[in-house]
Amino acid sequence: MKGLIPAAGLGTRLRPLTYTIPKPLLNVANKPIIVYAIEALREAGIFEIGLIVSDLVRAALEKESLEVEGVKLSYIRQAEQLGTAHAVKQASDWLNGEDFCVFLGDNLFENGIQRFVEAFNTGGYDAVIPLVSVPNPKEFGVAVLDDSGRIKALVEKPEIPPSNLAVAGVYVLKNSILEIIDGLKLSAKGEYVLTEAVELLVEKGNVYGLEVQGWWKDTGRHEDLLDANRLILETIVEQNDGEVINSRVVGRVRIGKGSKVTNSTIIGPALIGENVMLENAYVGPFTSIGDGAKLTSMEVEFSVIQEEAILENLTVRLHECLIGRKATVRGSIKIPRVHRLILSDASSVELG
């Protein structure tokens, strides 16, 4: 079995973060989102993985030297973003007749996807689809199960949901679904939708739905990134590979190599990357700080700080913030107090 990760999209819901970096490389708990998908496939026994990307995304991934131990990565070009089924179709030759697992790369699973791959390998199904109970089923593809666990209906974003079981962003599929994809028509939004192909497969009565154990998170929006960061930090183990001077470190805190913490307080769970400098700083719970960041005379909590960001001399505590790579946030001791902002298109700023 091979794995496919569609990753050619622009990530418009995560702008302005995705103006300068593609969505797959955004960090959650100091690791690119796409790496979580690759590792989940590897843990399920899938070691050949195709990344379906645009030329722009491929260049960014190659620049990062994206490598995961034990996995052979291949790049599959999707010149036009015409939907998930179109992305899968671009991989037809690369799949070479093998069954495959499609992992939408912005999804995170607490316990991985091994159960779903095993159910497919042992159950003789045409497809296995992870399902998760959600409070807002109108926003998802929703499945209805029969008594045997097979999916008897699959409805995309229903106005009146027939259940609250949403498709959770992974599809384990027989290669024969490519024939169905070949016959799809463009949707009203101008896309070829993988869910529509699976709906046609459901009519044959051999698509199995299996509920997700543990948490599942779609990281498509800013608040989802922060929540995913929180969920992952809940699992970290305390470790200090840096230097802590005249500082207070409480709870489950991981400090990377080369980092220096001086006259500061860190309350876990928190993740401090490598070569980070903290001085006269407070880092509160559920905060991850990327490699090479510098935080001086400031306070932050419940936030994601990307690599090489600089935050200094702030008179207010930052809360639930997403700070991009090499971004700079500086305060001022001038009186009267003023704000000087230089913002990219579609930026969002809240001043307290």
User: What predicted TM-score, i.e. pTM, was given to this entire model?
Assistant: 0.86
The two tokens of residue 345 are 């298109």
Bigger pLDDT: 273 or 58?
A: 273
| Rounded percentage of the chain residues whose pLDDT exceeds 90 | 46
Q: Are strands 165-167 and 141-145 parallel, antiparallel or unpaired?
A: antiparallel
Q: Are strands 304-305 and 216-218 parallel, antiparallel or unpaired?
A: unpaired
Between CA 324 and CA 346 the distance in angstroms is: 14
Residue 10 confidence (pLDDT): 67
Residue positions counted in the chain: 352
Residue 69 backbone phi and psi in degrees, to 5: -55, 135
| Mean pLDDT confidence for 210-226 | 86
Q: Give the CATH fold of the 236-330 domain.
A: UDP N-Acetylglucosamine Acyltransferase; domain 1 (2.160.10)
Residue 81 confidence (pLDDT): 79
| Mean pLDDT confidence for 173-191 | 86
Of the pLDDT bands very low, low, confident and very high (cuts 50, 70, 90), residue 255 is: very high
- The reply to whether 2-222 and 236-330 are identical in fold is no
Residue 180 confidence (pLDDT): 92
| Mean pLDDT confidence for 267-272 | 95
Nearest to 210, CA basis, from 127, 140, 99, 304: 127
Domain residue ranges of the chain, discontinuous segments joined by +: 2-222, 236-330
> For the residues of 136-196, what is the DSSP string, one character each?
-GGGSEEEEE-TTSBEEEEEES-SS-S-SEEE-SEEEE-TTHHHHHHT----TTS---HHH
Superfamily of domain 2-222: Spore Coat Polysaccharide Biosynthesis Protein SpsA; Chain A (3.90.550.10)
Bigger pLDDT: 319 or 21?
A: 319
Residue 139 confidence (pLDDT): 80
**Is 270 strand, coil or helix?**
strand
Bigger pLDDT: 48 or 337?
A: 48
Other CB atoms within 10 A of residue 228 CB: 22
